[in-house]
Amino acid sequence: MRTGTRVPYDEVLVSAVVPWELSIKERSGKLPEAAPLVAAWPAVVQALGATRLPIGDDHALLAGQLAWDL
């Protein structure tokens, strides 16, 4: 069981990678049920009241340097 102080979060953050991955998986046939979500992505983000996270090449380079050996 977790203990400690819980911080309430009410902000939804959306990475540009989410629609990218959904689009790739939908197009490849691995996730065909994502088609309506992909088609309506801007409206979905707006309906969620989400904040789009800006991702730049500096973020991509940093992500590529992360240690994945856990």
Say whether pLDDT at 56 is over 70: yes
CA torsion angle 10 8 67 23 (round to 10): -20
Q: Token pair of 27, please? A: 């197009």
Query: Using one digit for the tens of pLDDT, what is the confidence trace for 4-47?
Result: 566 567 888 998 889 999 999 999 999 999 999 999 999 999 99
With beta carbons less than 8 A apart as the criterion, state whether 26 and 32 touch: yes
Q: Is the pTM of this model over 0.85?
A: no
Q: Token pair of 25, please? A: 């998986």
